[in-house]
Structure 1
Amino acid sequence: MHSDRFRPLVDAKGPFVSIYFDDSHDTEDAAAQLDARLRDIRKQLEEQSVDGSVIQAIDTAVRGAHPPVGRSGRAVIVAGDTVVLDEHLIRPPTTTIVRVSDLPYVVPIVEHGLLHTAYLRVAVDSTGADISVHYASRVNSETVDGDGYPVHKAKSSEGHEYGKEQAVEEAVRKNIREVADRVTHLVDESGAGLVFIEGEVGARSELTSELPERVADNAVQLEGGGRAAGTDEAEVQHEISQELLKQRLTAIDDAAQRFAAGRGTGLAVEGLADVTAALRDGAVDTLIIGDIEDATVVADADLMLIAADADTLSDLGAAPERTLRADEALPIKAVAIDAALVRTDERMSPADGVGAVLRYAENSSA
């Protein structure tokens, strides 16, 4: 996962409140379930002496966002009394997580969030398309009505002239090109990582062929959906979720291969001591986060310098003033140096639950 989405957290001032919960809307009582979860979150925050303005900011953000369709999770991170990050997750966490700490906790987003901060859905037909840009916490929708006309071929009783057929085909192509132009603009504007195309097979294929290669390479044609009434939204969401999960598995597989290849060559390290050292040097290309559990690191008073233990920090000329959770400190330090973040699965088991693929071999650094 690219770290640019977390950049606002690096410059924000704590303390931070990090919340993750099941935000699914797949039952008739979804609204009542959300109310219950928010009451539970409020209680936990009150028990940790969180200010009422912070609690209200969280409640307002959650209720004001576009509700998801089907199974979904929610991530909300607050710095001070300002909501800095608010995202839907592909999958909900198994239990509600509420943390109040010096640093934000982003691991559940790395595990369950979208790899990219946005994707497009395009329901296309011969007359145009309905397009929606899905960001982490909102959806922007619009319609493209093509200028091409007519788009229906003459019936046999109307003469079935060759010229009219040509006019229809050209009108449809014109409309599809207009959709392709708009899709390309929205991809460039939003930074969308995927474009999901739904509709009849012919319209889907023609739109894909009209897209520039850099956009078409990230286009996925869906079997379900379309502009017609009666679309099974649950089926479409299932297809989208499966593709997003496939994309995540591909990213994990790539990191696993690079980590395995880097072992013994100086291009990969593991364990708290070596990974924190690589983060301090700015050498980490991809931080690999496994089961860190309750491991901690130490930091100076300004949280600028971290190390695996107090002796190492002292050797660096800093006083070990703070003890931090490793699963909070390491990811944020990785974000600060623009490193990518990957949550491990069974393919990787680095020492201490943390590893890194490096930008350059350790022995080549100054």
Structure 2
Amino acid sequence: MDLAFLHPLYEHPGPWASVYVDTSRHTENTPHERHLTAQALSRELSELGCDQATCRAVRNALEELAHSSEPHGRAIFARAGEVVLDPPLARAPLRDSAFWAPLPHTAPLLELAGEDPVCVVAYVDRRGAAFELRTALGRQDVGSVTGRRHPVHRTSTADWSERHFQLKVENTWEHNATEIADALSVCQEETRADLLILVGEDRERRTVRERLPKRLDDLVVEAPHGTGSRLLDEDVERARQEHVRQRAERELERFLAAREPDPEGRAGAAEGVPALIEAAREHRIDELLIRPDSPDAHREVWIGEDPDQLAVRRTDLRTLGEQNSWPARADDALIRSAVVTGAAAVSVAPAAEAVKEQAPVGGLGALLRWA
């Protein structure tokens, strides 16, 4: 996950209110239910010690969602009476929740907003194709291509004229498939799609796939549906989740390989809170790997005003010359450090259990920029 969009959260000191709210349920009672949710979460923040101006800002932001048709949910981060960031979620949270802490509680975003593969669905037939963009927030048409229209159908007879006609059919199919592949390649570049899903008859799907650039090989998925059918949301979601799982597994495999020391005894990965804090202070983290339900994610560490100032113990910060310090969750403190140093982060929760068993010690790890 690219964390750059979180920069506004670390341009001001805390404390911070962090709220995650589900907007996936839509009934005639939804506006009233969301009004009650806004009141309840604002009251919960107040009980946690949040100032009234910030409680009011959060409540107002939640009230504005009363008639929202957003399919999943919203995160809200506020301080000093102002909502600083309110990104939409790609998945609904398990429950509505509110936090009041020295740092914004951003770790849930890795699962709720971090992995949202963008898909282009290409509905292919012998005459052309229509392209549809799919994300967790919905769908939209993103273009089409029309190839040569005649001739496009085979015949079953075997005289010379019919064989000549069939040759023209083959040429037309190949021409159309090439045009579709070229247009789909351009569409992928423009949308930066993570997945290309081909829908249509076997022959048409295969012919188009063969003509796509090699760089797109790992992005292509074929859906075994008939020509003209619209791909079901369940089919797209299945392909998206498989993409997320494979990505998590690849990052874990990279971590496991980097964890092995080189001939000089240096490793390209770190795990465990003490080692990660040291790497964060030295700006050596290239990508954080986090399992949100792990024990180390909730572990208390100490932070100073500067993102470089974090330590396992409060006394360590004083040794570093930091006069002011606050307790914080390890995952949130490491994410702050990752954001300001341009590192990425990924949740390894979607990976298969067999791979997660070898996950970083305590559930927190990192690939390093240098050993």
Q: 2:31·2:66 contact (CA, 8 Å) conserved in 1? A: no
1:354 offset after TM fit, Å?
2.7
1:306 offset after TM fit, Å?
2.3
One of 359, 363, 368 as aligned partner of 1:348: 359
Comparing 334-343 with 50-59, which one deviates more in the overlay?
A: 50-59
One of 80, 86, 89 as aligned partner of 1:87: 89
TM-score (norm 2): 0.76
TM-score (norm 1): 0.77
Query: After the TM superposition, which residues 99-118 of structure 1 pair with which residues of structure 2 at under 5 Å, given as runs?
Result: 99-111=99-111, 113=113, 115=115, 118=118
User: Residue 360 in 1 paired to residue 356 in 2?
Assistant: no
Counterpart residue type for residue 76 of structure 1: A
1:334 offset after TM fit, Å?
1.4
Q: 2:270·2:366 contact (CA, 8 Å) conserved in 1? A: yes
User: Residue 295 in 1 paired to residue 315 in 2?
Assistant: no
State the partner residue of 2:153. Answer: 153
Deviations 1:215-253 (A, max 9, x none): 233212223475326x54434433443343233333333
Deviations 1:97-149 (A, max 9, x none): 33344433333332455546523222222222232233454543234131411
Q: Percent identity?
A: 23
SS of residue paired to 1:246: helix
- Give the Cα–Cα distance (whole angstroms) in 1 for the partners of residues 251 and 123 of structure 2: 27
Comparing 135-144 with 179-188, which one deviates more in the overlay?
A: 135-144
Q: 1:209·1:216 contact (CA, 8 Å) conserved in 2? A: no
State the partner residue of 1:76. Answer: 75
- Give the Cα–Cα distance (whole angstroms) in 1 for the partners of residues 209 and 62 of structure 2: 40
Comparing 330-339 with 41-50, which one deviates more in the overlay?
A: 41-50
Query: After the TM superposition, which residues 1-366 of structure 1 pair with which residues of structure 2 at under 5 Å, given as runs?
Result: 1-4=1-4, 6=6, 9-10=9-10, 16-20=16-20, 31=27, 38-39=34-35, 41-47=37-43, 48-49=45-46, 50-58=54-62, 60=64, 64=68, 67=71, 74-79=73-78, 80-89=82-91, 92-111=92-111, 113=113, 115=115, 118-135=118-135, 137=137, 139-150=139-150, 152-153=152-153, 161-224=162-225, 227-228=228-229, 232-259=232-259, 265-290=266-291, 291=294, 292-301=296-305, 305-344=309-348, 345-351=356-362, 353-361=363-371
- Give the Cα–Cα distance (whole angstroms) in 1 for the partners of residues 226 and 251 of structure 2: 27
1:54 offset after TM fit, Å?
3.7
Counterpart residue type for residue 97 of structure 2: I
- Give the Cα–Cα distance (whole angstroms) in 2 for the partners of residues 232 and 117 of structure 1: 16
- Closer, same or farther in 2 for the Cα pair 1:296/1:316, shift >3 Å? same
SS of residue paired to 2:75: strand
Q: 2:103·2:333 contact (CA, 8 Å) conserved in 1? A: yes
1:88 offset after TM fit, Å?
0.8
- Give the Cα–Cα distance (whole angstroms) in 2 for the partners of residues 251 and 61 of structure 1: 36
Deviations 1:297-345 (A, max 9, x none): 3233355532222222222222133332222121121132222323343
Q: 1:106·1:328 contact (CA, 8 Å) conserved in 2? A: yes
State how many pairs are aligned.
347
Comparing 5-14 with 193-202, which one deviates more in the overlay?
A: 5-14
RMSD: 3.7
Counterpart residue type for residue 43 of structure 1: Q
SS of residue paired to 1:104: coil
Larger radius of gyration: 2
- Give the Cα–Cα distance (whole angstroms) in 1 for the partners of residues 335 and 152 of structure 2: 55
SS of residue paired to 1:186: helix
Deviations 1:50-69 (A, max 9, x none): 445544445656965663xx
